Chains A and B, each alone.
Chain A
Amino acid sequence: MGKRRSVYLSFLLGPGAFWLLMFFVIPSLLVVVYSFMERSSSGGVIWNFSLEAYTKLFAFDPDSLFVNDFVVIFLRSFWWAILTTVACLLIGYPLAFYIAQQKPFTRTVMLFMVMIPFWTNFLVRTYAWKFILNNNGLINTFLSELSLPRVPLINTPTAVLIGLVYGSLPFMVLPLYASIEKFDYTLVEAGQDLGANYFRIFTRVFLPLTMPGVAAGCILVFIPAVGQYVVPTILGGGKVSMLGNLLAQQFGAALNWPFGSAIAVIFMILLMAGVLIYFTVEREEEAI
């Protein structure tokens, strides 16, 4: 049996693991190697060991707001990603809850309705937002028709946040819906019979049981939001950089691959640490 199990296991795990190691892990390691090489001003790297990229990334700059400009961009990206995640959670949780309560047919259709806009190119949708938010755009035209003052929207942090939330909302709704749908409402009745009010039932019963969905949603929203570069460029007017812009710049116009790789390595270490902490917490909960 033991032998059969291991044959079965290698059949299940083998192809996926091979694919992932071959076409994802090995190329990712290449980035780690790049980050320790010398910069070539023609793009690529010169194959000599160098810590230049990392010393640049952590050098103290007295003119900058905090440590140096790169750290400032890191912090801003994380802050905006947190705001995006919170906003998505605030809109997505009740939406997922509402959908989960519908009849099966309505439910399915509504879920597809959430996904369908995402089969249209992201750039095209973001440009459509620009058209809505422009100074002469839909919202402002509407306001001036009503003889109300125009609101500056485009090229502001508000516009960036709208774009970020728009781009991430379904990735919050899908996992949330999955966990809310599984919820057994007899538990709520039990709580009511025990005299608990709705707020208590929500915080003590409902929320803890849908927590895996919340966690999965947050991971799927937070991580891509940190690396976004299209939204800040189009809706934010490219006035402030996020981490994604910094990376695109280093691999692009700057042709500084080692430095871009170093930024990516630090970024991945931070996020990996976050994911591992989440695993540990989850396992402890499972143990309880």
Chain B
Amino acid sequence: MTVQQAQEGSLSRPAVTDTHYPPQRAGSLLLTWGKRLLWVNMVFSFVFLYAPILVLVIFSFNNSRFAAKWEGFTFQWYGQLLTNEAIISAFWNSIIVAVSATLISTVLGTMTAIAMERFRFPFRKTYDGILYLPVIVPDIVMGISLLAFFALALDWINTALALPVDSALRPGLTTVIIAHVAFNISFVAIVVRTSLRDFNKALEEAAQDLGANEWITFRRITLPLIMPGILGGALLAFTLSLDDFVITFFTTGPGGTTLPIDVFSRIRRSISPEINAISTLMLLMSIVLVMASQSLQRRRD
């Protein structure tokens, strides 16, 4: 969300830049100390956030099945990872689910947010409450009820279409994506609405006065302005979808094991070092991607 908002702030409003940073008043002891404390808090926060990450990276190179103590350096878990079809396919499934659910829910969530902020309609307040449901309903409850719901719905479809047993519709990645979209729409809508709230409607009206239709106004004026909110919502949706275990478990079917399901089921024998290895690879990948896209954009600008 915020990531792009940051750039938006500095790029689209260059005139504001001088008021954007706290005013510097020389000689203020309080301010100096305040700044130091802020810095200390920042360092502490990042150490806190990355301490366990560092541990798992180190243990992905540990020559022991158990994360007990350091037994020497090895690459064997990375080698085994490449031949571990179960983990690779689970990784694939996770990416498919997270990317599709993020794309669909970002579009639907943004549309919902615009409707909620721009229109007055009956039961709008009720719908406002309903939008918060996915934040409130506990995972396991949602999982159990979706399990029953999909079973009923698919059974109904199978009977209606008279599908034979071996080609009947069954839960799988599609049902997982449907479920993820259902909870992600709300998160996206909540975030996008914040960026629509202090939005200057005059621009939209001006465009329409100049003869632009709704679509062009939306594409040329509204969309670029709320882009930070949309990206933020998408980021949140992707993160939630990638890490969801409970709802995924209850809505998936044969062949639909995702990475979190694999990890949760395996813990009887403690976290396998292959999981540490794939986590490390994913971490490395995300850092490289973020850095690359950022420097690319920096150069563009």
Q: Residues on A close to B: CB < 8 A?
A: 5, 8-9, 11-13, 15-17, 19-21, 23-28, 30-31, 34, 91, 94-95, 97-101, 104-105, 107-109, 111-129, 131-132, 136, 138, 166, 169, 174-175, 177-179, 181-182, 184-186, 188-189, 192, 198, 212, 216, 219-220, 223, 227, 243-244, 247-248, 251, 257, 260-261, 264, 267-268, 271-272, 275-276, 279
11 intermolecular pairs with C-beta atoms under 8 Å apart: A5-B119, A12-B111, A104-B6, A128-B52, A174-B2, A178-B232, A188-B22, A244-B138, A247-B138, A267-B138, A279-B125
Provide the main secondary structure of the chain B interface.
helix
| B235 on the A face (CB < 8 A) | yes
Contact A114/B49 with A8-B214, A95-B41, A109-B291 known, Cβ cut-off 8 Å: yes
Cα distance A174–B4 when bound, in Å?
12
A34 contact set on B, CB distance < 8 A: 145
* Contact count A vs B, C-beta below 8 Å: 278
Pair B23/A15 contact, Cβ less than 8 Å: no
Q: How far is the CB of A27 from chain B (nearest CB, A)?
A: 4
| B205 on the A face (CB < 8 A) | no
Pair A272/B129 contact, Cβ less than 8 Å: yes
Among A31, A120, A219, A257, chain B packs the most CB atoms within 10 A around the CB of: A120
- Interface 9-residue window, one of B155-163, B164-172, B174-182: B174-182
Q: Which one of B1, B42, B138, B291 lies within 8 Å of A98 (CB-CB)?
A: B42
Cα distance A101–B166 when bound, in Å?
60
Cα distance A104–B59 when bound, in Å?
35
Among B144, B189, B264, chain A packs the most CB atoms within 10 A around the CB of: B144
Q: Can you name 20 extra interface pairs (CB under 8 A) apart from A16-B108, A114-B45, A123-B267?
A: A15-B111, A19-B181, A23-B182, A24-B134, A28-B137, A104-B6, A104-B9, A104-B10, A107-B6, A108-B4, A116-B283, A120-B53, A123-B271, A125-B53, A128-B52, A129-B52, A169-B49, A192-B23, A244-B140, A276-B129
Q: Which one of B182, B243, B259 lies within 8 Å of A19 (CB-CB)?
A: B182
Contact A12/B282 with A118-B239, A185-B20, A244-B138 known, Cβ cut-off 8 Å: no
| B5 on the A face (CB < 8 A) | yes
Pair A119/B133 contact, Cβ less than 8 Å: no
Contact A15/B108 with A108-B7, A119-B242 known, Cβ cut-off 8 Å: yes
Pair B279/A120 contact, Cβ less than 8 Å: yes
Q: How far is the CB of B273 from chain A (nearest CB, A)?
A: 11
Cα distance A261–B143 when bound, in Å?
12
Residue of B nearest to A189 (CB): B23
Pair B290/A109 contact, Cβ less than 8 Å: yes
B149 contact set on A, CB distance < 8 A: 23, 26-27, 30
Q: How far is the CB of B285 from chain A (nearest CB, A)?
A: 9
Cα distance A138–B19 when bound, in Å?
45
A126 contact set on B, CB distance < 8 A: 52
